[in-house]
Amino acid sequence: MAEVVFDQASRIYTPGAKPAVDSLDLTVADGELVVLVGPSGSGKSTALRMLAGLEPIDAGSVRIDGRDVVDVPSKDRDIAMVFQNYALYPSKTVAENMAFPLKMRGMDKEERGRRVRQAAEMLGLTDFLDRKPKAMSGGQRQRVAMGRAIVREPQVFLMDEPLSNLDAKMRVQTRAQIAELQNRLAVSTVYVTHDQVEAMTMGDRVAVLADGKLQQYATPPELYDRPTNAFVAGFIGSPAMNLLDLPRSSTGVTLGGVEVPLPREISDAAGSRDRITVGIRPEDWVLESTDADAGSVIKAVVDVVEELGSESYLYAHLAEDTSTSIVVRGPGRVKVRFGDPIAVRPNPEALHVFDVETGQRLP
C-alpha cells in the first residue's frame, strides 16, 4: 500500500518530437483506484508503463511510497501488472503462473502454495489450478492474471485495459468484481482504459488524458458536472455532450434562430466574446410540444431514434440550420420516428460554456 506520485513526468520517444506523456502531475492516494482514460494515443498506457518501469522516464520523476523509482528496475518497484491480453505463461499451469513471481522472489514452496490457494479461492479458480491457460475461457484467464497480481501483495496494482478482451456481459461482471476486490484489498491501483463508462464506474478518481497531457483529474461526478474543458466535456458521457459553437446575442446565444438566455454568471464570464461553445448533455434538453410558439422552442427533425427501453436517444438536425446535429434524451417508448419534427429547449441551469479557441470552461 502506497501513495503514487507522477511529478512532471515525461516520456519523449524521439528528441524534439511531441512527448508521448507531457509533464504529467498526478497523485494516487494510498488505497485509491485511479483510472487513466483517454482516446488512443493520449499517453495513458505510456504513463502506466512508465510507472511499471517498462518505459523510461525522460524527465521529471515518479515516486512510489515516497521513493523515486526512475532508476529502479520493474522487479524492484513492488508492483504487479495485469495486461490486456493477460500475458499468462502458456507452458505453465494456473498454479504455476500464479506462483511464478513468488518463486522468483525466493519464497519457500509452502508459503507459495498457501498464497496461491488463498488467491484462487478468492477468485473462484480452485478447480482450475492444474489447467493450462489454453484450456480456459477469456474470463477465467482474466481472473488468473488478477490472481497472479494479488499473490504478490504488491504496493501498487497496474491494470492496462484488463477487460478489453472480454465480451460485453463478462466485462460488466468483471468490472464490478475488480472494483470490489480492490476495495477489499485496499491496494493503490492505476487502471488504464479507453472506455469512459469503465472509468466512471470504477474510479475513485479519474484522470482524463489527451495528446499526452492531463486534461482533468477529478472524481467521476465532478468530471461529469464540471468538465474543465470542451475535450473532457465531449469525452465523458454517452452519448456525448452536444457541443455547439454559437453566436452571442444580447441576452445569451442564438441557437437555430432562437434566443437562448444564459444565466448571469455565465454571461459575465463570457465577457465580450462574439462566439462561445455551448455544451448541452442529451438529458438537459426539455422536449416541448411541436405546437409551441416558434420564438421559444428550437425546432428539429429526427434522423435516428435509439430506443433503449427505459429511455431513448433522438438524433436530430435543426430545422433552421440543417448542418447542426443534436442528441436529445427522451422517455422510453417515445412516439417519434425518422423524419418527425420535434421541439426542444435547453435547460438553462445545466449549460456548460467553453471558450471557442482554447476550449477552456467559462467561468
Partner 1 sequence: MAVTTSTPPDERTPDTAEGAPEPRRRRGNAVDVWLGVIAWVVGIAFFFPVFWMVLTSFKTEADAYTPTPKIIFEPTLEQYEGVFSSGIGPYLANSVGATVISTLLVLLLAIPAAFALSLRPVQKTSDVLFFFISTKMLPVVAAIVPIYVVVNEIGALDNIWTLIVLYTGMNLPIAVWMMRSFFLEVPGELLEQASIDGAPLWRTLREIVLPIISPGIFATALICVIFAWNEFFFAVNLTAANAGTVPVFLVGFITSEGLYWAQLSAAATLAALPVVIAGWVAQNKLVQGLSFGAVK
- Interface residues toward partner 1, by CB under 8 A: 52-54, 73-75, 79-81, 83-85, 87, 89-92, 100-101, 104-105
Please state the separation of Cα 142 from the chain's center in Å.
Answer: 20
State the nearest-atom distance from the C-beta of 245 to partner 1, in Å: 42
Note if the bond before 363 is cis, omega within 30 degrees. Answer: yes
Please name the residue that has the C-alpha cell 455547439.
Answer: 244
- Give Cα separations from 293 to 107, 290, 296 (angstroms): 77, 8, 6
Nearer to partner 1, 104 or 308 (CB): 104
- DSSP secondary structure of 195-239: -HHHHHHH-SEEEEEETTEEEEEE-HHHHHHS-SBHHHHHHSSSS
Q: Sign of torsion, CA 324 330 332 334?
A: negative
State the nearest-atom distance from the C-beta of 329 to partner 1, in Å: 40
Nearer to partner 1, 80 or 232 (CB): 80
Nearer to partner 1, 149 or 328 (CB): 149
State the nearest-atom distance from the C-beta of 75 to partner 1, in Å: 4
State the nearest-atom distance from the C-beta of 95 to partner 1, in Å: 15
State the nearest-atom distance from the C-beta of 157 to partner 1, in Å: 12
State the nearest-atom distance from the C-beta of 100 to partner 1, in Å: 6
- For residue 11, give the H/E element and its range: strand 4-11
Nearer to partner 1, 99 or 129 (CB): 99
State the nearest-atom distance from the C-beta of 207 to partner 1, in Å: 22
Nearer to partner 1, 44 or 281 (CB): 44
Please name the residue that has the C-alpha cell 429511455.
Answer: 311
Nearer to partner 1, 141 or 281 (CB): 141
- For residue 140, give the H/E element and its range: helix 138-151
CA angle 241, 247, 249 (to 5 degrees): 115
**Burial profile 152-163: b = 16 or more Cβ within 10 angstroms, e = fewer:** bebbbbbbbbbb
Nearer to partner 1, 54 or 172 (CB): 54
Among candidate residues 284, 324, 296, 246, the one with its CA nearest the CA of residue 315:
324
State the nearest-atom distance from the C-beta of 88 to partner 1, in Å: 8
State the nearest-atom distance from the C-beta of 126 to partner 1, in Å: 22
d(CA 188, CA 4): 8
- Dihedral (C-alpha) 121, 125, 129, 131: value to the nearest 10 degrees? 180
- Extract the C-alpha cell encoding 171: 466485462
Nearer to partner 1, 100 or 315 (CB): 100
Nearer to partner 1, 151 or 260 (CB): 151
Among candidate residues 180, 163, 221, 182, the one with its CA nearest the CA of residue 30:
182
